[in-house]
Amino acid sequence: MKTIVIGVIGADVHAVGNKIIEYTLTKEGFNVVNVGVLSSQEDFINAAIETSASLILVSSLYGHGELDCRGMREKCEEAGLDHILLYVGGNIVVGKQDFDEVESRFKNMGFNRVYPPGVKIDDVLDTIKLDLGGI
């Protein structure tokens, strides 16, 4: 069973969406470790180390995800998580910006998958399963 660490980064507190993600991924057979809201990069990374997670899924709805996620890939590599998958989704930047540009910036920051506002976790399940090589 693959482990996925989820949570809400920074000063964001959108707990309902985070719980929906946890419920959906658990129902699909993943071991889900939810670090909750108001989480730091270190919270995600430490949970991933402790559980040998394969993927970290970062949520952010308050528009400051870019600031909160900057440097996360480097911190993962410093912690020995060289190959962990990093996903991010939600309203991850301030204001309305071209999503292709936003996606490009996050991929340059080391995120493997970047999702715009409004994408439901159900829409991401096939990609997660593909990236993890099955459950």
Give the pLDDT band of residue 22 (cuts 50, 70, 90): very high
So what's the pLDDT on residue 66?
Answer: 93
Residue 33 three-state SS = strand
- Residue 107, C-beta contacts closer than 8 angstroms, at least 6 positions apart: 114
Residue 88 three-state SS = strand
pTM of the predicted model as reported, rounded to 2 decimal places:
0.94
100 is catalytic: no
Q: Count CB-CB contacts under 10 A for residue 10.
A: 19
Strand spans (E) along 91-128: 113-115
- Residue 55, C-beta contacts closer than 8 angstroms, at least 6 positions apart: 2, 3, 4, 5, 84, 85, 86, 87, 128, 131, 132
14 is catalytic: yes
pLDDT, tens digit (0-9, with 9 covering 90-100), for 40-71: 999 999 999 999 999 999 999 898 999 999 99
Rounded to an integer, the average pLDDT of 93-100 is 92
Q: Which one of 14, 43, 64, 131 is the catalytic residue? A: 14
